[in-house]
Structures are given as structure tokens and as C-alpha cells.
Amino acid sequence: MNGQVNTLLVYAALNFGILTVLSAVLYAAPSPRLNPAAVPFGVRVPPDKARAAAVEEQRHRYRGAVLVAAAVVTVLASALGAALGTLTAGAAGSLLLCALAAALWVRAHRSIARAKADGGWYGQARQGAVMDTSLRTDPVRFPWIWTVPALVVIAVSTAAGVIVYPGLPDRIAMPERSLGGTVYRTYPTSVWTAFGLVLCQVLLTLAVAAVVAGLLRARADLDVARPVAGAARYRRYLTVTARSMMGITVLLNLMLLGLSALMWSDIRSMPATLAVTGVPLVAVLAVAACLALRVGPAGSRLRAPADEEDTGLVPRDDDRFWRGAGTIYVNADDPAVLVPKRVGIGWTVNLGNPRVLVATASLLAVAVGAAVVQAVW
């Protein structure tokens, strides 16, 4: 009886923790710390309007509604998850909260866009754009030394797998998610099943390295008021971001190594699985939070030379190229593949670029082909 009660309490705590973290992220979403300061709710405004009354009003409305919805959904989902002994309630509550936050975000976006148009915020502003050509001629170097830890983890995983492979049973168990929680399904032991997570490490490392290489050559939105300082700050931002991404890769590879060890040892323990996955994921969140709070969007909180005269320019009003409340960039005349995000920190793709469309179609074709092959076999 005590064991059952403890299990229910664990599920209640897990659902509560998941929803609490998500609620905190959604509540903080419109903060200038997590978005470019002059793009509140995905609307481009002159820097002197970033704290306008219309903007602050929408922030207060968004946060108040999210706070109420988060409290109700968290309590109900935690109680339901404890009663049923599953994390499904937390997942459903998370989807509901995200949907509500998205609707509130769209409402705020439209209200600020109307205030911007009605107030003529860009009427007297001198718009401009700057470019640092040295980012092409002398780009920030790829952090090769930071890939070594990820490769070491892969090597250790491969060596451990080779050692234990001869002694593995005929069938090995892998955890899978279901409506009732985590279940274990057995598969015939083969190189593919035994080393599947090691292969995931390799693919993950290659994918992240390719993304980092692309980001180092992505288009930069520099500070038009102080372009020299903005360029220096952006270079530091690229360096810190690239190193952080490779560090996150190490943490995820360690998580996959831990899951492989559980699989090879035939340990079917929910606490062990949670520990192996939870600790690295918490570390990943810590790195991401540090990057967001200490570095800021496009490195806005990094130090830069201060002895530069203000040009008097403001960023160009390019709202017409952004869809989905400032989350989707579509500009067929822009040759850039990657552009800085308006919502959040990082980059997004230019869906108007033909190369992006071709790459997306190719990935979809590969995914469909893999699904068909798996279904046939």
C-alpha cells in the first residue's frame, strides 16, 4: 500500500514539476531578456517605443492570463496524474497551456501592430541597415576543440558496447512511452538494436556540428545605432553560442550512454531511467537558461566598446516578411537561409528561400521513406 502511495506521489510531483517549469517559461516569454528588445510580441518597433504604454499593457494582460491558466491547469493535471499514475495528464496540460499562450500571444501581437500603425511610430524615424562583411571574409572559427568531449563520449559508448555485446541475451528491452506511462518492449538482439543509441549519438553530434557551422555564416542583424560595437558583440555571441551548443551535445550524448547502459544491463527501473535522462536534461536547461539570461538575444547583454557615436538610425520596419505573429520569416528576395529570430533567442529559416524548400522536401521524403520501410519490414 505504501509503495502504491509513493508511486502516485511521484507521478503527482513529476506532473507538477513539468507544468511548473513550462508555466514559468510561458510567463517569461514576452520578456525583453528572451526576445530582441525592439520586437515586442514579434512586432518591429523603434527602440524608443519598446516600453511604450501599449506594449506594457499587452505584457501585463498576457502574463496575468497565463498565470491564472497555469495555476488551474497545473493543479488539475497534477491531481489527475496522481490518480491515474501517468504522465499523460501533464503532457495534455502542457499542450493546453501552450495553445492558450499562443492565442494570447497572437492577441497581443495584433494589438501592438494596431497601436504602431495608428500612432505612426515609424513616421519620423530614420530607418537603416548595416552589414559586417568581415563575417564572410574572416568568419568566426568553428570550435573544433569543443567537439572533442562529444567524440570521447561516443568512443566510450562504442567501446562499452563492443565489450558487452557478446554477453547480451537473445532479446533486449527498450523503454517506450504509452498512455499508461513507460513500458518496456523486447527486440531481437542485433548490432542495430544494441548500438542504436550509439548511432543516435553519432547522428546528433554530426547534426549539431552542421547547424553550428551554418549559424557561424548566418545573416546578422546588427545594431544600426552603433554598428561597430554591434559587430564586436555579435562575434562574441557566435563564439559563446557555438561552444554552448557543443557542450549541450556532450550532455545529450551522456544521456544516451546512460540509456544504453540500462539497456545492456537489462535494468527496467523507472527511477533509474528518470535519473539517467533527468540529470542531463536539467543540465541542458541550465546551459540554455544561462545563455538566455547572461548573453541575451544576439548577444545584447555582452559587453562591447562604448566609445561610438550614435548614428541616429533605427532598424527597418520589416513586419511584412514575418508571419505567424512574428515567428515565421518568408522573404523570397532575401538570399539568407538563416536569420535571427524575432521570438526567442537563436535563428530561424527563411521559408521564402528555394534552398530551404528543397531541403525541407528532401527531409520529408526521407522520413516518409523510412516510415514505409519500417512498416514493410
pLDDT tens-digit map of 185-195:
777 888 888 89
pLDDT of the residue at 151: 96
pLDDT of the residue at 175: 66
Provide mean pLDDT across the span 118-134. Answer: 85
Q: Torsion angle of alpha carbons 297, 303, 309, 313, nearest 10°?
A: 0
pLDDT of the residue at 167: 87
**Between 114 and 126, residue with greater pLDDT:** 114
Long-range pairs, 186-195, Cβ under 8 A, ≥24? 191/165, 194/161, 194/165, 194/168, 194/263, 194/264, 195/158, 195/161, 195/165
- Count Cβ atoms within 10 A of the Cβ of residue 350 and give its class: 0-12 exposed, 13-18 middle, 19 or more buried: buried
pLDDT tens digit sequence for 240-253: 999 999 999 999 99
CB neighbour list of residue 177: distance below 8 Å, 6 or more residues apart? 183
**CA-based nearest residue to 130, from 197, 51, 224, 67:** 224
pLDDT tens digit sequence for 232-288: 888 999 999 999 999 999 999 999 999 899 888 888 777 788 788 889 999 998 998
Secondary structure of residue 335 in the 3-state scheme: coil
pLDDT tens digit sequence for 14-52: 778 888 889 998 999 898 888 888 899 999 999 889 899
Question: Among all chains, which residue has been given the C-alpha cell 504602431?
Answer: 116
Q: Where are the domains of the chain?
A: 129-312
- Count Cβ atoms within 10 A of the Cβ of residue 63 and give its class: 0-12 exposed, 13-18 middle, 19 or more buried: middle
337 contacts 349 by C-beta, under 8 angstroms: yes
Secondary structure of residue 50 in the 3-state scheme: coil
- Give the C-alpha distances (Å, rounded to integers) separating 36 from 43, 300, 364: 10, 8, 32
**Between 55 and 4, residue with greater pLDDT:** 55
Q: List b or e across 2-31, with b for residues whose CB sees 16 or more CB atoms inside 10 angstroms.
A: eeeeeeeebbbebbbebbeebbeebbebbe
- Model confidence at 85, pLDDT cuts 50, 70, 90, reads low
Q: Report the alpha-carbon angle 103-112-64, nearest 5.
A: 50
**Between 82 and 93, residue with greater pLDDT:** 93
pLDDT tens digit sequence for 71-82: 999 888 888 877
The pTM (predicted TM-score) of the whole model is 0.81
- Model confidence at 370, pLDDT cuts 50, 70, 90, reads low
pLDDT of the residue at 239: 92
Grid cell listed for 67: 498565470
Strands in the chain per DSSP E: 127-128, 171-178, 181-188, 314-315, 322-323, 328-329, 338-340, 347-349
pLDDT of the residue at 4: 53
Percentage of residues of the chain with pLDDT beyond 90: 36
pLDDT of the residue at 251: 95
Q: Report the alpha-carbon angle 326-116-332, nearest 5.
A: 40
32 contacts 295 by C-beta, under 8 angstroms: no
Q: Work out the mean pLDDT of the chain and round it to a whole number.
A: 85
- Count Cβ atoms within 10 A of the Cβ of residue 203 and give its class: 0-12 exposed, 13-18 middle, 19 or more buried: exposed
pLDDT of the residue at 5: 53
pLDDT tens digit sequence for 299-355: 888 877 667 787 888 888 889 999 999 999 999 888 888 888 888 888 888 988 888
pLDDT tens digit sequence for 162-208: 999 888 888 887 766 554 456 677 778 888 888 988 999 999 999 99
Grid cell listed for 129: 541597415
